[in-house]
Amino acid sequence: MLTSITEGILCCLTGKAASLVLPLESSEPSNGFEFVEVKPGRVLRVRHIVPERQPVVTEDQMSSGKKKTKVDSNEDDGGSEDVMKGPPKGSSVHCKRKITVYRNGQLVIENLGDVLHSEILQCQDGDLEPCSTVEVELADYKELASSPEPHPMPPRVPPHAGDQKPAPPPRRRRRKPKRTVLIDSKRAISSCKGTQSDVALFFVHGVGGSLDIWGSQLDFFSRLGYEVIAPDLAGHGASKAPPIAAAYTFYALAEDLRAIFKRYARKRNILIGHSYGVSFCTFLAHEYPDLVHKVVMINGGGPTALEPSLCSIFQLPSCVLHCLSPCLAWSFLKAGFARQGAKEKQLLKQGNAFNVAPFVLRAMMSGQYWPEGDEVYHAELTVPILLVHGMCDKFVPMDEDQRMAEILLFAFLKVIEEGSHMVMMECPDTVNTLLHEFFLWEPDMSKTESIKCDTETKATTNDIVQTLRVNKTVDK
């Protein structure tokens, strides 16, 4: 503690940031670790474990993997060349969605395509303890009134009305939508096994973490034959730490991960993000919908746009944060884990979590600005998504992940009772089982087909109208 205070005072006097995390001396691949220069002078450490197989996706395939979205237009999109030539056998799901945004901040989502009713089952060989996971089953969407406006209040009758007639109810005024987004596409959803050569898993950590927090998951899935890729964000783990704050904005980090994704992507890629890393997975899934097969969001929070908090402790000068670093590490241990015993302290140390320079931590928290990542942005995703939430999480409340499950088209929410924010470190067996079953899952569309073949009147059961209120302020 005294050393931290002394270094913090020297930092204030010299005007320089505290010592930054630098990459390891050796850049040769060792034990699955590589150092990738995403930009000149910007080097990230990546753990890459791959069986000796898989052809590499070309740059032309990457550029053609953009999703077409129609905005305020009824014209048909021109069919772009599908990058997944000869896709594996699986269920083809018709994703048809209409998203309407009104000027009062109201959002109306209509799902007009196939509706998935399949459940994610537990692996037969899973070591789940009884009642260790709680299944939060989202109720089927109900069709609401077509008008997004609330019902008018009944007219107020004066106490002594006499012969006066009650005033007629106010007439509803039709509101013109501010923006309309139409999505009409088909997605092939198949089981992803480790033995399949076109599958790759990407693991993205959050603020203050490193690729080491995924140690249990990387070992587990690599043993099953999966190709796994896990980078250290800039300034984290053993990645290089640029000395300017602009290097840690959301857009700068997103471009880093885009470069990593383009380097290692296969035909079917699964993105697994934790906390702030979920936003980068959402970004990549939105940019490359034909290459991103499934997404896992672990304690990611709500779907509203990222904005830095102006009243946060991380707005303090870097030298002050350096003095407070032992307190911050203790606070993170207390809030990030359901229990704070010797095991949790050892996990925090082994995972190299919250072991970043104060300057990097401050720049990361101040750079969380992503106005495009609002509810509409998330509602446009057509990829199946598994949401994992630790019940004891003190950083992300439960209702935020529930909100995310309501917004997303194909979402499954799993709650782990004994887990907290670092649930993948606290409950690795449970998380690994959930993730593996999700990777192997593919939808059973037999119910949807029987509905389609029944009568035309029953086709309305696939119509989903959901009225939502946009919350503009979310503290991630």
C-beta neighbour count of 150 within 10 angstroms: 10
Q: Which of 198, 290, 393, 401 is catalytic?
A: 393
Distance CA 295, CA 383 (A): 7
C-alpha to C-alpha distance for 359 and 254, rounded to whole angstroms: 19
125 is catalytic: no
| H helix and E strand count, the chain | 14, 14
> CB neighbours (10 Å) of residue 16?
13
Q: Which pairing describes strands 177-189 and 385-390: parallel, antiparallel, or unpaired?
A: unpaired
Per the CB < 8 A criterion, the answer to whether 387 and 275 are in contact is no
Q: Are 180 and 100 in contact (CB under 8 A)?
A: yes
Question: What is the DSSP code (8-state) at residue 442?
Answer: -
Helices 428-440 & 215-223, crossing angle to 10 degrees?
50
- In terms of C-beta density within 10 A (0-12 exposed, 13-18 middle, 19 or more buried), how is residue 30 classed? exposed
Closest CA to 148 of 167, 116, 175, 118: 175
End-to-end CA distance of the chain: 28
Tell me whether strands 33-39 and 42-49 are parallel, antiparallel or unpaired.
antiparallel
DSSP string, 252-316: HHHHHHHHHHHHH--SEEEEEEETTHHHHHHHHHHH-TTTEEEEEEES---SSPB---TTSGGGS
Place of tokens 């779907």: 303
State the Cα–Cα distance between residues 268 and 88, nearest whole angstrom: 10
How far apart CA 356 and CA 264 sit, in angstroms, is 26
The answer to whether the CB of 274 falls within 8 A of the CB of 206 is yes
Catalytic residue status for 421: yes
Q: Which of the following is catalytic: 275, 318, 325, 420?
A: 275
CA angle 169, 171, 177 (to 5 degrees): 140
Q: Which residues are catalytic?
A: 275, 393, 421
